Amino acid sequence: MLNIETPEIKYVIHAVRQASRLVKQIQAEMVSPALTKDDRSPVTVADFAAQALVGHLLDKNFPDDPLVGEEDSSALHTPEEQTTLERITAFVSRFTAGATPETVCQWIDRGTAISAPRFWTIDPIDGTKGFLRGDQYAVALALIEEGQVQIGALGCPNLSPLSLQGRGVRACTERSRIGEGVLIVAARGQGTWAGTLDGELDLRPLSVSERSGPAQARLLRSLESGHTHADQIERFSEAFGVQADPLRMDSQAKYAVLAAGQAEIYLRLLSPKLPDYREKIWDQAAGTIVIEEAGGRVTDLDGRALDFTRGRTLTNNRGICATNGVLHEAVLESLKIIGA
């Protein structure tokens, strides 16, 4: 059972629920069909606002804990970004008293810390293009101690709870109805649990699927081809013998779907444009423990455990291989065959 009275678990649940509600409001009010392709202002506001709120709540609960995040407030101090800072402050003030441009910048800059024996890592908006399209995105927060992820939570405002209940591919790709959305929380040795982002905290356990046949394995794929090596994904599917249609969606919401047993494989292969790219820790920490505590397995493409001791990136790891565990070694073998 998940001990929701543990201070760290209580904090991560509250912080991710609040931040998810905040960014959902920003998406509803700022993302519209009239938005131009190059206008990233909604995701900029949401990124900063969510990190500020999480940083503020960390100050209240664990003031001595470092936070490693994607954003810092330096750009917001310029005259050109004054309006952006005012918007961020206005949204954050809906969730906490005392939000001023100065305090908001201080809360954002909690995320500029360096990793330590114990620290938190935040991705305020994972899946920025999904956010701008009105599709899938996630708020991701994790606690890392001595290089091991101990607690992780994903807030997926547009993921329908039906997608975690065996309702099929269509339910996974459809957006949540107003008032829903999914919270996923995992703690080391306590399993992975799912509930809604609003209302009573009614958590239920998740577990990965037991499918062991390659032909029926469901592969999670990103909508954005630049995030991975699309050609190698196709070659992998052929080499592994995948016959099931892939499930395409943005963000770490894919980890929630895999943990719930609605898919079996997710790969982050190296893009040919960025062969030396290394994953940021905030892009993988929460999703990793969500999969592992649901019974699955996450390694890099060479089968090595993810190393969260090297700062802001997974310097010692190459790509990501996440599976239901049963298929993991066979997936790694197929990746070797295609030279991934």
**pLDDT tens across 31-41, in order?**
987 777 678 89
Quick one: pLDDT at residue 225?
Answer: 61
Residues designated as active site? 47, 128
Nearest CA to 53 among 127, 5, 120, 103?
103
Quick one: pLDDT at residue 227?
Answer: 58
The domain ranges of the chain are 7-206, 214-338
Q: 207, exposed or middle or buried, with CB in 10 Å at 0-12, 13-18, 19+?
A: middle
Quick one: pLDDT at residue 36?
Answer: 74
Within a 10 A sphere around the Cβ of 169, how many other Cβ atoms?
18
Distance CA(308)–CA(315), nearest Å, equals 9
Quick one: pLDDT at residue 251?
Answer: 95
- Name the token pair of 297: 């397995």
Q: In CATH, which of 3.10.20.30, 3.30.540.10, 2.40.100.20, 3.40.50.300 is domain 7-206?
A: 3.30.540.10
Quick one: pLDDT at residue 102?
Answer: 98
Residue 221 three-state SS: strand
Q: In CATH, which of 3.40.190.80, 3.30.1330.100, 3.30.428.10, 3.40.449.10 is domain 214-338?
A: 3.40.190.80
Can you point out the beta strands (E) in the chain? Answer: 67-69, 118-126, 138-145, 148-156, 182-187, 191-196, 204-206, 219-221, 247-248, 265-268, 297-299, 320-323
Quick one: pLDDT at residue 112?
Answer: 96
- Name the token pair of 259: 């943990």
Which residue, chain included where needed, has tokens 């001791």?
309
Quick one: pLDDT at residue 317?
Answer: 98
Q: Which are the contacts of 298, defined by CB distance < 8 A and separation ≥ 6?
A: 284, 287, 288, 291, 292, 306, 320, 321, 322
Average pLDDT per run of 10 along the chain, which is 340 residues long?
Answer: 97 98 96 78 96 98 97 95 97 97 98 96 96 94 98 96 67 59 97 95 96 97 73 95 94 97 96 90 98 98 98 97 98 96
Amino acid letter at 272?
P
Nearest CA to 153 among 44, 297, 18?
18
Quick one: pLDDT at residue 248?
Answer: 92
Per-residue pLDDT tens over the stretch 168-217: 545 555 666 545 799 999 999 999 999 999 999 999 999 999 999 999 99
Are 7-206 and 214-338 in the same CATH fold?
A: no
